[in-house]
Amino acid sequence: MNNLRTYLATLLILMAFTLSSCELVGDIFEAGMWTALVVIVIVILLIAWIFRRFRR
């Protein structure tokens, strides 16, 4: 159990020094933006396809 605590403490310290919180938040928001963009395009294409099906 002591080895696990040492490992977790070392991992936490390593992450604190290597990851900038602003960078991490920026990356999360950028990934969310791209995901939202893809979902919006898919929804628009789906609506256009449905309208074309009913027009015939």
pLDDT tens per residue across span 1-56: 668 888 888 888 887 777 666 777 788 888 899 999 999 999 999 999 999 999 87
Q: Domain containing 47: what range?
A: 21-56
**Cα 53 to Cα 46: distance, rounded to the nearest angstrom:** 11
Q: Is residue 11 part of a domain?
A: no
Residue identified by tokens 């015939």 is 56
Task: Report the number of distinct structural domains present in the chain.
Answer: 1
pLDDT of residue 51: 94
Q: Is the dihedral of CA 28, 33, 38, 43 positive or negative?
A: positive
Q: Is residue 1 part of a domain?
A: no
Q: Is residue 7 part of a domain?
A: no
